[in-house]
Structure formats: structure tokens, C-alpha cells
Structure 1
Amino acid sequence: MASRIRLEDRECPLSTTVAHVGEWWTLLILHDCFDGYTRFDQFQENLGISSSMLTTRLKALVGDRLLERRPYQTNPARHEYVLTDLGRSLRPVIVALAAWGNARLAPDQRSMILVDAATGEEVEPVVVDAATGRRLDDSEAFVYTSGPAAGRAMRTRYPRDVKERP
């Protein structure tokens, strides 16, 4: 039997990302961090996660440099988990995932909505091209091409010249 390819060993950036944040507890812990939670007991109480699973996920988030573990008390030793710049850069991804989930619910079924902090008005997050402001939800208008580090399989799947796409 052939061994399975680990996601983080694949060339695709989506596979690499999923290897780091694809586990659902990870996304929920990060979501709590964006809401200001930093301490083990806060995560555990809010999420209802077992201490062993929380310990495992926090260690992975620190190892992936998405969170930083900092002491806040010496006797007994206690640590908090603070988002790094890399971790903070995931906020738009998590906001987009929540928005995708909410878009499939009737407005009266949503338990959480994103609002403008200044006005309190509900907002609709979308992913746009920074240069043009065009929405990226049109799969015909935006396609992948191989990047400079692409291997043979990636170059075959995503030709550099978009006119060569199947």
C-alpha cells in the first residue's frame, strides 16, 4: 500500500494552508483570539474543548507561528496565547468563512453577524482584487497560473500563459 502524502508536503498553497488551519478546533481557537481571548481557561470554557485537545491545538498554533505563548503569571506559572502578525493575517479568511456560512441561513437564523464598529450596520464581507477592487467570486474572470517555484505537475495543471489553459 502506498503511503499517504501529507498535506504540508504538497506543492499547492491551499494544501499547505489546510495543513496549518484546516482542523476545525484551530479555526475556532483563532476566532476566539480575534475576540480577545488569550488564556487557556477562556478558550476551554468558551469552546467546551477538552484540555488535551486544546493543549495539542495551542502547541500547533504556536509551532506554526500563528500564536505566541507568553507568561503572564509566575507562581503558579501561567501563559497566555497572543496572535502574531501571521496569525492576525488570517482574520479576513475567518471572516469570509463565517460570511459564507451566514449567507446560507435566513437572516433570523444567524447567531452572529459582522457589523461596522462605528455605525453598527451589518456589512457583507467580500474578497476583492486589491489593484482593481473587482470581486473574486467570478471563477471565469480570475484563474490560477503556475508561479516561479512551481514543479512540473503544477506547471502542467496551471500553465503560465492563461491562453494555454484547457
Structure 2
Amino acid sequence: MLVLTFMVGEFLYGFEAVNVAEVVPPVNCKPLPKAPGFVSGVFNYRGRISPVIDLPRLALDKPSVSMMSSRIIMIDIADINEECERGSRYLGLRAEKVTDMVKLSDDLFESPGVDIPDAPWLGRVAKMERGMLQLINPAKLLDEDLQRILFPEDGHQVTEREVEELHYPEKNMGD
């Protein structure tokens, strides 16, 4: 399998190349007031308004650092939500040190041995010279609530409560 590798903080992660639509240089995103902190904003990707998620902020609660090797990895939403038409919507994922595409045998990957409910998108792990490489599963990157906020269906208005629940999930537990 071909894997696009990148860093989140000091750790190595990757996407299977089959799940990557394109890798683009970093851009200034239009911020979305009151959006969850890991949402960088939106930008014009090939004529379509596309949201961007800051992967280091999502994973480690630390904003990404701008560097020469920072990139936005574009994912087709059809790889996240099978009800979406391929090529109709994209999600950008801001990452650091997006520099390598490596070919690895599927046999090198194994289960990490833990299941983290708040990070269901974390996938299998491979041991490499540079350290451990963990795959990210794009199909589990956005839960239904976040999909509805970032990609509202025509006519669906996202409620203030939905945004608040993403912003402050502990505040709304037990409601």
C-alpha cells in the first residue's frame, strides 16, 4: 500500500494514498466564528468552499506550526460519507512535515491494541526506522454531528446548540 506520511507534533501518521484527493500548499482560511477550535476555517478549493481541520489541534489540542513542509491534505467526503457524491465536496486537513509517500506491505501494520473512544479515527500501526507510523481512517474522522455542521444539507440550518455541543461537550453531558 502507498501511504502519505506527515507529522502531528512529534509523531508520524499517514493516510493511505487511495484516500487522498490532493495535497495543496497551506492557504489562509476564512475563520468561522464560534466553530470548534480544531476547525481552521474554509477556503476555495477548485471552486468549492471546503472546510479545513487542523490535525494537530484535533489530535493533541495544539495548533499546527507553519513550516515549509506544512500542507493541506484534501480528502473527498465520499470517503467519509458514502451518501455523498464523489467529487462534490472536500475536506482539508492541515498537517506538518507532509514530505513522504512510502510503499509499505499491509502485513507491516497491526492493531495498536487500544481503542480510544474520543479518537476513533486512529488506525493500525507499523514499526518503521523513523518510529511508529499510525494510519488515520478518514471514514471515522468526522462524527455525524461534525459532518452536519461542516457539510450541512441544503436547507438544514445548524442550531446553536449543535455548535455548542461540539465546542463544549462536557458541558452538555447529561442533558
Question: Which structure shows the bigger proportion of residues in helix conformation?
Answer: 1
Regarding TM over 0.5, the answer is no
TM range (shorter): under 0.3
Q: State the TM-score, normalizing by the size of structure 1.
A: 0.25
Question: Which structure shows the bigger proportion of residues in strand conformation?
Answer: 2
